[in-house]
Amino acid sequence: MRAITSLEIGMEAPERSAIADKGVGGRILLVDDRQSSYERLAPILAAEHTVDVEVNPAEALFHAADGNYDLLIVSLSLENYDGLRLCSQARSLERTRQLPILAISDADNNARLLRGLEIGVNDYLLRPVDKNELLARARTQIRKRRYTDHLRDNVQNSIEMAITDALTGLHNRRYMESHLSTLAEQASSRGKPLALMILDIDFFKSINDTYGHDAGDDVLREFAVRIRKSIRGIDLACRYGGEEFVIVMPETDLTVAGMVAERLRRSIAGETFAVNKGTKRIDVTISIGLATLDREGEPVADVLKRADTALYRAKHDGRNRVVS
Ligand code: GH3
Ligand code: MG
Ligand code: MG
Ligand code: MG
């Protein structure tokens, strides 16, 4: 692959960065095996964008797939290769499916152009290519691409926010409830155990009352950090309510879950929590109620209920303990 850089086409670096600042400058892969053609087109594009020229169409897809490009420009009149086939392959490949394609076609080849549009080519230009038209169409495709990316990021963020507890970064109750029954069904159908624990901070109200609400928040955040450290990737931890957390552990029986719970309980009681910007360290303890899925097809609500009853007993028996 031959990269046409600003130096090669004699353009000063500040000029390029001024254009990049406007946010339109993108990365373009130009697939063209006719020297007379790409030697004219690439410098035009390079005035606003970073351009790589690929003269070997068979290689082009490979580069398009991992080159992080914003736009693929394909000459349909390649000498030894079908430019349309390249476009169609790009559309069927996961990594290039969303990559905009601008086709360049000979003026006398309308049928091929129509086929290209059917395949999913986003826009086209006819030869002889007009400089300003090329730049305008490239710009439009790159802008659209940026906008779509932006929308996708926003959707992604909204989904994250809907399933995440803002204070601790753990999953929220809604997320856990929507996944718990699936986890239980999977465990049942595979004949694997499933353990569930409810963790509740002891006398949390008095932490708030004594050190302030912000200190309470510090404790919740630090508790979430310690929970994360003590679970496996397949475990599901969530903030279930105020100072109550739930951990679901697939493929874990009561004995192992009891050990995990006890280790966590001890680590909380054994190391003080920093609050109020680290100016104070306070003692925190937790109580844990533990239950497992007992029989195939048992409703998860029943398991949760038993874990909650166990938690109640842990509180009643003096707190800072695990009960199953
Ligand atoms: P127990 O040992 O029986 O669990 O007593 P507790 O004081 O921990 O339980 P209680 O349910 O009486 O109090 C829970 C408190 O948690 C009450 C509520 O104000 C506080 N709380 C709930 N959510 C938050 C929060 O996001 N931040 C802070 N700082 N406090 C919270
Ligand atoms: Mg309570
Ligand atoms: Mg509590
Ligand atoms: Mg509580």
For 42-57, write each residue's pLDDT tens digit. 999 999 999 999 999 8
- For ligand 1, say whether the CB of 165 is within 6 Å of any of its atoms: no
Name the catalytic one among 48, 54, 222, 243: 243
Which ligand has its closest atom nearest to the C-alpha of 246?
Answer: 4
Whole-number Å distance, alpha carbon 280 to ligand 4 midpoint, is 24
- Report how far apart, in Å, the C-alpha atoms of 36 and of each of 14, 40, 55, 89, 128 are: 28, 7, 12, 26, 12
pLDDT tops 60 at residue 229: yes
Q: Which residue carries 């957390």 as its tokens?
A: 245
For the residues 266-281, what does the mean pLDDT come to?
96
Query: Which residues have their alpha-adjacent CB atom under 5 A from ion ligand 4?
Result: 200, 244
- For ligand 1, say whether the CB of 200 is within 6 Å of any of its atoms: yes
Whole-number Å distance, alpha carbon 222 to ligand 2 midpoint, is 19
How much is the pLDDT for 8? 42
The bridge status of strand 171-172 relative to strand 236-241 is parallel
Q: Is 8 a catalytic residue?
A: no
Degrees to nearest 5, angle at CA 86 with 82 and 89: 135
- Split at pLDDT 50, 70, 90, the class of 280 is very high
Q: Could you count the other beta carbons within 10 Å of the beta carbon of residue 2?
A: 12
Phi, psi of 82 (to 5 degrees): -90, 105
Q: Which residue carries 């497992």 as its tokens?
A: 292
Choose which residue among 204, 207, 245 to substitute to test ligand 1 binding: the one with the highest number of ligand atoms within 8 A of its C-beta.
204
Closest CA to 286 of 224, 229, 212: 224
- For ligand 1, say whether the CB of 203 is within 6 Å of any of its atoms: yes
Whole-number Å distance, alpha carbon 184 to ligand 4 midpoint, is 24
Ligand 1 atom having least distance to the Cα of 217: 29
Nearest residue (CA) to ligand 1, atom 29: 216
- For ligand 1, say whether the CB of 309 is within 6 Å of any of its atoms: no
Ligand 1 atom having least distance to the Cα of 216: 29
How much is the pLDDT for 2? 54
pLDDT tops 80 at residue 16: no
Q: How far apart are CA 159 and CA 171, in angstroms?
A: 12
For the residues 150-154, what does the mean pLDDT come to?
94
- Split at pLDDT 50, 70, 90, the class of 19 is very low
- For ligand 1, say whether the CB of 216 is within 6 Å of any of its atoms: yes
pLDDT tops 50 at residue 240: yes
Q: How far apart are CA 280 and CA 240, in angstroms?
A: 27
How much is the pLDDT for 66? 83
How much is the pLDDT for 27? 96
- Split at pLDDT 50, 70, 90, the class of 107 is confident
How much is the pLDDT for 79? 78
pLDDT tops 50 at residue 31: yes
- For ligand 1, say whether the CB of 204 is within 6 Å of any of its atoms: yes
Tell me the helices (H) and strands (E) count for the chain, helix number first: 11, 14
Whole-number Å distance, alpha carbon 54 to ligand 1 midpoint, is 63
Nearest residue (CA) to ligand 1, atom 22: 242
